[in-house]
Structure 1
Amino acid sequence: MKHACSLCVLIALVWLFSGCKKEDAEKSDVTFDVLDSAVLDVSRYSSGHTSTISVWSKCAQACEINKASIEHVKSVVLRTAEVNLKYPNGQNFDFLDRLTLYAVTAEGNKRIVLAATDVVPRGATTLKLVPTKEDLTAYLQPGRYYIIPYLEVNQPSQNLAELQLQYDVRAQQL
């Protein structure tokens, strides 16, 4: 009888621990890339901050496609960022000396540099930006995030410019 009870306890422990291992295997890391874009309307070419731009993120959709959960994403890192000048046609970035894009939380209480460039090649219509190394999880999780462009220009103008931001982030979930 003692051996039967010991055997039952042993079987229960084996079953319990094998169940835990299965759960741990299901919680493996999920890493995926998200390609996204945003249109940045710059109402005037003058140095300083422009209007805050609200952008809907594709992170939640990418999580769903990758069978992940946006609420459980532990890190989001910007891998690449570039800006194309879409409007006015035929224009280039010669009016610009520096461009910095800030990411702002939905509450507006925290701001970090998202990406920037200190070198603007003459005649360029596309700028490759240096991405931040900061974790962007708090900025992208709500689904909507905010960008504030900061421009340093060498030729002020009253023209409207439309910039197309394209970027790639890597998200990781536990």
Structure 2
Amino acid sequence: MKKILFLVPLAFLLVAIGCKKIDQLLTFYIEDTQNIRVAGNSVVGLIPIAPVAVTTRSEEKFKNEDTRADLVKDVSLNKLTLTITDPNNENFDFLESVTLYISTEQSDRVALASLSSVPTGQKVIELKPSGAKLDKYLKASSYTLTTEARVKRAVSQDITMRADSRFKVTADPL
């Protein structure tokens, strides 16, 4: 009887560890890069930034990972970095806060990542992922990125930022 009482928790532990290992084997990352342009002559305060349409090519990406969209069970943003690419001498000192949103024609807009207090003197900043479940957005053929920025000083010339995102994707085995 003592052996059974010992083996039952051990069996549960082995199953839990096994499930975690299987999830790790079925997890992969999708990386994407988009350019976002802040128009020159922007005033201080909350400014709208032109939306960016993104073609996902998700079916191709899922196929490369030996899976299909219907087997994808969990998608979340793992990392989002903004880098100023033009003009070369600009940094994020003009920016107070920034939030990126994701949407599709069929799905509402949800926060993707944000940074409420942008550090000064930086050409590269990392935003904090919102933790939103993003399955339906990455399974779609396209999605739209919308940016809201709070500007603390006027922008006299166009600024181009590169948004590098990494999505964590987990699929079911069958």
Q: Contact 1:98–1:152 (CA<8 Å) still a contact in 2? A: yes
- Tell me the amino acid that sits aligned with residue 36 of structure 1: D
Output the CA distance in 2 between the equivalents of 1:168 and 1:52: 19
Output the CA distance in 2 between the equivalents of 1:41 and 1:144: 20
Alpha carbons of structure 1 residues 81 and 58: separation in structure 2 relative to 1, 3 Å: farther
- Tell me the amino acid that sits aligned with residue 138 of structure 1: K
Match of 1:115 in 2: 113
Could you tell me how far 1:72 is from its partner in structure 2?
2.7
Does structure 1 residue 139 correspond to structure 2 residue 151? no
Residue number among 135, 153, 159 corresponding to 1:161 in the alignment: 159
Match of 1:18 in 2: none
- Where do 1:20-31 residues align within 5 Å? 30-31=26-27
What secondary structure, in the 3-state scheme, does the structure 2 residue paired with 1:52 have?
A: strand
Alpha carbons of structure 1 residues 158 and 90: separation in structure 2 relative to 1, 3 Å: closer
Q: Contact 1:38–1:166 (CA<8 Å) still a contact in 2? A: yes
What secondary structure, in the 3-state scheme, does the structure 2 residue paired with 1:50 have?
A: strand
Cα deviation, 1:78-126, whole Å, max 9, x if unaligned, reads 111110011111100000000100111234x501110000121111000
Match of 2:123 in 1: 125
Match of 2:79 in 1: 80
Number of residue pairs the alignment of both structures matches: 146
Match of 2:48 in 1: 49
Match of 1:33 in 2: 29
CA RMSD, Structure 1 to Structure 2 (Å): 1.8
TM-score, normalised to structure 1, is 0.77
Could you tell me how far 1:158 is from its partner in structure 2?
4.4
Identity %: 23
Alpha carbons of structure 1 residues 71 and 41: separation in structure 2 relative to 1, 3 Å: farther
Structure 1: stretches of 5+ with no match in the other structure = 1-27
What secondary structure, in the 3-state scheme, does the structure 1 residue paired with 2:70 have?
A: helix
Match of 1:64 in 2: 63
Output the CA distance in 2 between the equivalents of 1:149 and 1:113: 10
Cα deviation, 1:41-69, whole Å, max 9, x if unaligned, reads 22244422212110122543321111111
- Tell me the amino acid that sits aligned with residue 67 of structure 1: D
What secondary structure, in the 3-state scheme, does the structure 2 residue paired with 1:139 have?
A: helix
